Amino acid sequence: MTRGMWTRETVALMLLAAYLPLALFWAWHGGAEALGRFALAAVIVAVWHVVFLLARAQAPSLSGMIVALAVAMLAPEDLGVIRLALGLSFGVVLGELVFGGWGRNVVHPATVTLSFLGFGFPAFAWPGFDAPVAWAAIPAALIGIATGTMPAAVLAGAAGLGAAALLLGAVPQAVLFAACIVLVLLVADPVASAATTPGRWVNGALYAALVILFARGWAGAAPAQIAVSAALLTSLVAPLLDEAALALWTARRKGRHGRT
């Protein structure tokens, strides 16, 4: 995707378009307070992008708005400006910008921010999600798949296992809603998820499995906390899944041709 109109910024724009239904429903339910949080997060992210533009000549990216949206939606409530700025600076700088900007990061910067805020300030409550906002994750995923910016196999893997768990009644509804939103916002990110098709299937299934495990075994965890923790672990494992998929492919090819 390096020729023609498909540059990094096109991908970021398409992702933003995919998140639009989710963002609109959330802003509609949250009102002015939600928009204020998003604006604050966007300003902090933009400042860091400009700092790295000036210090290291790294082109700023519209993906920062995705990070701001994800953090504004999922961050613990009533944190205050300073704590949000601290967590967001940590996530954006150490999660993304030091690696060279969006596209070279290992973990989604919003995942880093949310984990930092969650572990750093356990006293603040995680947000809950109403049904309409959670349902809006479905059009977001569909647009993402249609434009090719969200890995379909990740979404399918998670949805498959999630549906099975739902039929067995293994997860409460609140966890399911939070898990859907986090799946779309953090897990099905084209950079932080696995890059090979088998790796993506396992990536999505692993996320769903971790959510089910945490929902059943982690006493006292909020739904959003469960989903964010599962997203963090999944994106840390993603490179390993790719490595395994490539090793399998090499081994199969060796068996077929007698050489690599």
Partner 1 sequence: MTAARATWSTLTDPLVRQNPVTLQILGICSALAVTTTLATAVTMSVALTIVLTLSAGLVSAIRRHIPGTIRLIVQIVIVASLVIVIDQVLQAYFAEISRALSVYVGLITTNCLVLGRTEAFARHNPPFPAMIDAFGNGLGYSLVLVTIGGLRELFGKGELFGRTILPLADAGGWFTPLSLMLLAPSAFFLLGLLVWAVRTILPEQSEAREHTPPPSTEPAE
Give the integer Cα–Cα distance in Å for 103 and 82.
Answer: 28
The reply to whether 195 sits near partner 1 by the rule CB under 8 A is no
Residue 153 Cβ vs partner 1, minimum distance, rounded to whole Å: 26
Give buried/exposed letters for 127-158 (b at 16+ CB in 10 A, else e): bebeeebbebbeebbebbbeeebbbbbbbbbb
Residue 188 Cβ vs partner 1, minimum distance, rounded to whole Å: 25
- 113 neighbors 64 (Cβ within 8 angstroms): no
- Amino acid at site 29: H
- CB nearer to partner 1: give 90 or 135: 90
Q: 125 CB contacts (<8 Å, ≥6 apart)?
A: 76, 77, 78, 222
Site string for partner 1, 91-130 (x = CB under 8 A): ---x---x-x---------------x--xxxxx-------
Residue 6 Cβ vs partner 1, minimum distance, rounded to whole Å: 11
Q: Which of 60, 59, 67 lies closest to 19 in space, CA to CA?
A: 67
Q: Which stretch binds partner 1 (CB under 8 A): 90-98, 147-155, 219-227, 241-249?
A: 90-98
Give the integer Cα–Cα distance in Å for 206 and 187.
Answer: 11
Neighbours of 181 (CB within 10 A): 25
User: What would you report as the CA-atom Rg of the chain, rounded to the nearest whole angstrom?
Assistant: 18
The reply to whether 6 sits near partner 1 by the rule CB under 8 A is no
Neighbours of 249 (CB within 10 A): 12
- CB nearer to partner 1: give 94 or 152: 94
- CB nearer to partner 1: give 122 or 255: 122
- CB nearer to partner 1: give 47 or 98: 98
Site string for partner 1, 8-47 (x = CB under 8 A): ----------------------------------------
The reply to whether 7 sits near partner 1 by the rule CB under 8 A is yes
Residue 113 Cβ vs partner 1, minimum distance, rounded to whole Å: 12
Q: 229 CB contacts (<8 Å, ≥6 apart)?
A: 115, 118, 210, 214, 221
Residues lying near partner 1 in the complex (CB under 8 A) are found at: 2, 7, 83, 90, 94, 98, 100, 116, 119-123
